[in-house]
Structure 1
Amino acid sequence: MKRPVYLRGMAAACAAGDDRATIADACIAALPAPAEVCFRSLGGDVVLPYFRAGGIGTATPRVAEQALDDAVRRDALALYFGSSSAGITLHERAYVAALAAGSDGDAPHGGPLFPIHAPDQSRAARELRTALGARGPYYTLNTACSSAANALLYAAFALRDGLVDAALAVGIEEENRLSQQGFFSLMLATRERSRPFDVARDGIVLGEGAAALHLSADRGGARWQLLGGASLCDASHPTNPSAERIADTIHAALDDAGVAAAEVSAVKAHGTGTRANDQAEALGLRRVFGDAMPPLTSIKPVLGHTLGACGALETVAFTACLERGRVPPTAGFADADPELGVAPLRAAAPWRGGVALLNYFGFGGNNCALLLRELA
């Protein structure tokens, strides 16, 4: 018999704040506050908006500790760590330091200026595990923008099947130039603000953040139950998602959670603000819900698109909003796109409990959908 999975504790830090209450206030009030980044591309200066939090790497252990309660056994705590570029930030810093020193670092074989001898995406997870004193199994998941969502889902699967008794799912994204320049080169970054599902949407605004969720088979004082979810791969195209496969992912998540589409009371869309992603997600949602679309929103215009961390950060933020009895609006949304057939909330809507669907989709066709229920 499969065990239930409860979210015993949640914590986050991002540009919108460093606690759930502050982050929820920003989402409900739709208060985006991006900073700017500047870099050179093709011989010219590029200035883009960016949701900078600062000190996310050093803040992550604190965020993780805030999500845990005193009852958890650290010797058995499993860690599921999701990020799309946690190691990249460390590598960029090492390169800058080596360049400034005019050396190749301590490369054992000499050669060109290149201090990244052993790229290691799991280093951040190992360091966090040590800082927490956790001695259970640990895993690093890197599935682009669904990384932390998959960390949550696979932690839930392990708990449900009795493989672990307590788990911590963590998502982290730190500012780095590779991501900024990469999305700019793909012509997916807006120079203004993200406007998910709007007819004039023209790209994403990146951001950084960290979030942690404590999962347990024992309810304790938990207010949320993770009913289930699904992670499917869309192999049709590396960057352009398919509406059909998004619908397949949501249907699989509903089946796994034992929930009918009609039971869903709110949808937190992935809602990046790009032409192709929003179109595929909107059409995929219509395949699932038809004309009976639940209240729909994207909170990326307030938090920034935190890439691999968004599965954790947006889950923490969205549930905090729902606990206040509000489904937050989509900041920046003004005019509906007739091709999409859906319109997200322009103003906060009442939440009266029930089941929430949370979507997270990433490059490479890494689709993940989660179903959460607010407990009485």
Structure 2
Amino acid sequence: MRILHTSDWHIGRTFHGVDLLADQLAALLAIADLVTETGVDVVVLAGDVYDRAIPSADAVSTCMAGLEAIRAAGAQLVVSSGNHDSAPRLGAGSSFAAAGGLHLRTDLKQIAQPVELVDEHGPVLIYGIPYLEPEVTRHGLACGNSHESVLTAAMGQIRADIESRDGARTVVVAHAFVVGGEPSESERSISVGGVETVPAGVFAGVDYVALGHLHSPQTIAENVRYSGSVLPYSFAETSHRKAVWVVDLDAQGLSNVERHDLPIIRGLSTLTASLEELLTDPSFATYEDHYISVLLTDAVRPAEAMRKLKARFPFAVHLDLVNQQAMQALDYRRRVKGRTDLDIARGFVADVRSEPTIGEVAWLESALAQDDRQVEPTGVAKSA
């Protein structure tokens, strides 16, 4: 069986106030194309389908268009809810949706109820663990009030169900922060009064674990991975290449995992220059269709800077003025690091006048020594 692992669509999210629905739909259609090209049997979506608990009508329409395209490409879908989703809203009509190949796992009661699919080697059981807020779910799971406790209890139910079956291959879809993962700026913290991370060992005993929550593709273990978000959602993700994992299960279990990069829908860049340079320098032409964050180096903030920038860079979304004094101070600290007081004093004289003579160097040494004698080792000046 061939499985495509994706997560963190965040449909309806904006980027510095810019609507991303068209970009998000383009990414979902690229996933549908990949389903066709690689012969994927099932797509698993590990939470944060939407960016808000109550998505807009346009966000719902965009999401449905993406799901329909994936289903039309020939894959079934198993979708669990994330911390951004409203589990009850996302799971509404789940029984009806399953008849059409969309299997929603948003309810605590469904944790040990896998989606059972069959290939030439037999059954594959896909368990969907919705995001488990410890304070909300610990009573239903009869466990402690921590992320590790609730996920351990959920996996206990899943393992009990696996043991009651005969040799089926297993996949778990979960939305969590697993130890070893690297967060970025655009994830919402899931820590509420405690540690938000859980050890990877919590998921031991299954063939593949499809994780969601962190926004860059990551490998925690060979069979435990994050697919990351489908688009970059902060400038900190400029270096991320968004991707999905295509996972193959053979008769024995996991046989292969292959990364497939998603297309770059629109570039993401940070530009540092004066307003005049940004508006006239031909070297910036390559960034004209990127989302850009601008750091202006002008001594004084230019009037209507963003309006002028948008004439050349229509997707400019953020603007700030570089603090030249802070940069100069930082540069000075770098220049004097590791130098003695005498070296610094000699350099100052050379900068403002000329290289000091031998006699002048002796005067500087004497002055610095006198200053040292006036200060105790604790840094408190002696009283007269």
TM-score by length of 1: 0.30
The structure having more radius of gyration, on CA atoms, is 2
TM-score by length of 2: 0.30
